[in-house]
Structure 1
Amino acid sequence: MIRLPFILLLSIGLTLAACGSERNSLPGLAFGSIKNVFSRNKQPPLTTAVLRSRLTPEVRAQIGLPVLIVELPKQKIAAVVIYNTENRGHITWVAPDGVAIYTKSGFVTGSRGVGYDLMSSFVDASLAIVTGSGTGQATRVQTYLDGENQQVVVRLDCHYTRDGASVYESCKAGDLAVENQYWLNKEGEVQSSRQWAGERNGYMLIESPIFAD
């Protein structure tokens, strides 16, 4: 893993932010619906299962935009994020508190406001395998922000296996071992996943409520 000075954070951050440079203000109704139905103050504590039960077709219609359920089990955090914009295949998803994640065809390529964020991720080779044959090998490079505002570059060598509609991604970078999983719909698109979000955050669970119906 390679540590880079904080000044480079700005350039990579601006590059990734360009994915959302055409961002429009989200409708107040959409965020209002999210806040009313998915408030952290509601019991029980928010998890993917709880949010899934609340995110009924009627609620999704009220929100009026595509949404994802995102959970960091290690941090005991779960939230609904709303589609904001798409630029060159990268989709920006935003939570009411301003936290954002970026995805490309179901692969997480960045986050902002989560803490120890994923600043960039080059996933094209991995994406081609997962949505194609589902087997083979690829290398992916991810850049994370650590607690000292330094960038940590992780080069992951990954091996892929398929089991029905699931693709398993087993990656190593030195002593680090990562086990991701992707669930595909009948069109071969990633609709649900378990993806590594860094040493501090652990794994990120991402689910499309439409896929869960």
Structure 2
Amino acid sequence: MTNTLRLTAATAVAAALLTLAGCGSDTGKTANTAMVGNMAKGVFARLKPGKTAKVTAPVGQEDLARAALASNTGPLLLATIETQGATTVLGMIGENGSKRTYATPSQQNVVLQDGVLIATRGLGRDLMSADPGATPQLLATRTPGKSHRIQRYLDGEGIERPLRLSCTLTRGTTQSYSFAGVNWTGMQMVEVCSASGLSIGNSYLVAENGQIILSRQWIGPGLGYVALQTLRP
């Protein structure tokens, strides 16, 4: 990362946090690897305030997103899991209040509460459930503040163990970029959480209406981070 971009403190943290590798997919590795990673790095590290970025992803990656949008009418996400090596599209299969469940064709699931990750299934070493505290409300209003999270994981004996995190959210700059024929604009929000020597960071791009349009969120110690790009809200 370069200092010549004159990033705010929050933006600089986001840039450091968003060093993405490959992506995870139930269909195996494809030419679409690193799409969301490249996009996120561009949005959180390379853009200047008020500018529109050209996403540096191969054409085939945008083709994947366009094909998904053309063949599905409901809400869609593009997901990148750093530790698993490919990109996949997830469609919404359920909605309950502020919670949405998205799934791949083979039923690997992520559950979001107002865009904040609260559970996964079928990925291995899943996040069983989470109480995100005040984080969704702070993000929806793009307000700096503090939050306390509880994230639950199974131990080696299959017993669910809670991980309690203390978090601080800070606000960065407004950023714009284009992908698959759609222009997106949002404000950067960075969440840094700690517990018992562990420190993790989540980064979000939040639209004016409070929708999280692009994020990088920590699943857990086994899976690391997932980057999520909204294709259709």
- Say whether the 8 Å CA contact 1:139–1:158 is kept in structure 2: yes
Aligned to 1:187: 209
Aligned to 2:35: 48
Q: Alignment partner of 1:60: what SS?
A: helix
What is the identity, as a one-letter code, of the residue corresponding to 2:31?
P
TM-score, length basis structure 1: 0.73
Comparing 140-149 with 43-52, greater Cα deviation is found at 43-52
Deviations 1:140-181 (A, max 9, x none): 111022454232211000011100201100100011101110
- Cα distance in 1 for partners of 2:116, 2:107 equals 20
- Say whether the 8 Å CA contact 1:120–1:143 is kept in structure 2: yes
What is the identity, as a one-letter code, of the residue corresponding to 2:101?
T
**Alpha carbons of 1:134 and 1:112: their partners in 2 closer, same or farther (altered >3 Å)?**
same
- Cα distance in 2 for partners of 1:133, 1:64 equals 29
Q: Answer yes or no: is 1:174 the counterpart of 2:196.
A: yes
Of the three residues 57, 62, 86, the one matched with 2:71 is 62
Instruction: Identify, as 1 or 2, the structure richer in helix.
Output: 1
**Alpha carbons of 1:145 and 1:48: their partners in 2 closer, same or farther (altered >3 Å)?**
farther
Report % sequence identity. 27
- Cα distance in 1 for partners of 2:169, 2:205 equals 13
List alignment gaps of at least 5 residues for structure 2. Answer: 1-24, 37-57, 174-186
**Alpha carbons of 1:169 and 1:97: their partners in 2 closer, same or farther (altered >3 Å)?**
same
- Say whether the 8 Å CA contact 2:74–2:232 is kept in structure 1: no
**Alpha carbons of 1:62 and 1:145: their partners in 2 closer, same or farther (altered >3 Å)?**
same
What is the identity, as a one-letter code, of the residue corresponding to 2:196?
G
Q: Answer yes or no: is 1:122 the counterpart of 2:119.
A: no
What is the CA-CA distance between 1:94 and the residue it aligns to? 1.0
- Cα distance in 2 for partners of 1:203, 1:195 equals 5
TM-score, length basis structure 2: 0.67
